[in-house]
Amino acid sequence: MFNQLITTRKGKIISGALIGLLAWILVLLLYSGNILESYELKTYDQLCQLKADRSPAPEEVVLIVVDQNSLEAARKEGINWPWPRQMYAPILQFCAAAGAKAVAFDILFTEPSSYGVEDDKLLAEALQANGHAFLPLFLSRQKRPHLPYEKGLLDRSSLPLKNDSGQDPASYLSSLPPIQILAENARALGNVAMAPDSDGICRRIPVVFPYQERWIPSLGLALFNHLRGRETAVLEKNSLHLQNFSLPLDSRQNFLLFYYSPGKDFRRLSAFNVIQSSLALQEGKKPLYPPETLRDKMVLVGFTAPGLFDLKPTPVSSVTPGMSVHATLLANLLHRDFRVRISPYLALSLALVLALAMSVTVLLVPGLWQLALLLLAYEDARNARSNRLSPITCPTSWSRTC
């Protein structure tokens, strides 16, 4: 009976529609069970890579990195790792002299300096003198005793927020803030905790975190709000609204990051060279970096030397330092480089249309699927031949500094 049905044009259309509907039902079952999520994430990675090749990182964000060259240069001066915290004071002074809009450390100062109280005091004085310096804290799901000075820090760093999302996310249970003398002299704090997707890749990041009946911004959002002033935010189901500004969020209230080209990454300055430049300015000498390098820039300070920093696999690189993830969030907000995931209803509707169209077309044009298979086979053979003939090249280091 089926053979008789597909001999007529009308029968082929009906048969194709039935086949397409069955295929769509299978897709619906796989989608409902989250079985297709890994394939969807990999598709997003491919789109990110295609877009990133044409998207250099914005110039407004600059990274000051403690790289291997910085460690070796300091060692020649008799300064071993870990550095005294007063080593970061000239960086803050140079940022202030250069006219940077803000500077944030992606370095946790949760314990007193091993060099003594005076070492912490010198960094605290530099933080206060800068006036636009931010420090990180780390929110945790583990229970820890609350520190006596924590409440004042949270009041100063929290984001005024009205929750209209209809969801009541689980609050974080504790925090690891900087030591008191440093935290109290910073402009504010931002959370640096992040959780990758199920496959370990960082594609999205929360921008606000519930903690002790407050909402703590991520480090990138804290810097962005510094430019706009303290304002009340409204959290909705799929967005975070600031004054005249709206951030799209996914169903888990995460912000989907748009990564820039690894080959044209954020400009990186060697931390030791910045220190030398700061000291040269104070002595009236010519600095290695002219002050205008950081004029009106948003600066992040962190580690890139091997063994000092946490690697965060991203859609565009498997070796992205954590500070670059926060820099990417900040740059996305500054340039409104937003990516929005389409709703499941729209995705399933498009899948239904595609399944029906393809099944009907294949039955009406029998040779079409054979042509598609030939084209796929040809493309695979061409790629295999290209791989055999292409020379082996070594990738350039991603951790270059200017």
What confidence tens digit (pLDDT) does each residue in 352-362 have?
A: 777 777 776 76
Distance CA 151, CA 300 (A): 26
pLDDT tens track for 54-68: 788 999 999 999 999
- φ/ψ region of 360 (left if φ > 0, alpha if ψ in -120 to 50, else beta) reads alpha
Question: What integer best gives the mean pLDDT of the chain?
Answer: 84
Strand partners, 211: 172, 214
Domain spans of the chain, in order of start? 2-50+343-374, 57-335
Helices 117-130/89-98 angle, 10° precision? 10
Give the span between the Cα atoms of 34 and 342, in whole angstroms.
16
Q: What is the pLDDT of residues 266-305, one digit of tens each?
A: 999 999 999 999 999 999 999 999 999 999 999 999 999 8
CB 56 within 8 Å of CB 264:
yes
- Bridge partners of 79, per DSSP, are none
Phi and psi based region of residue 212 (left: phi greater than 0; alpha: psi -120 to 50; beta: remaining): left
| Cβ neighbourhood burial of 77 (10 Å; 0-12, 13-18, 19+) | exposed
Over residues 120-141, the mean pLDDT reads 97
Average of per-residue pLDDT across 82-96: 97
Considering only CA atoms, give the Rg of the chain: 26
pLDDT score, position 380: 58
How many Cβ atoms sit within 10 Å of the Cβ of residue 140? 14
Residue 208 to residue 157: CA distance in whole angstroms:
12
3-state class (DSSP) for residue 251: coil
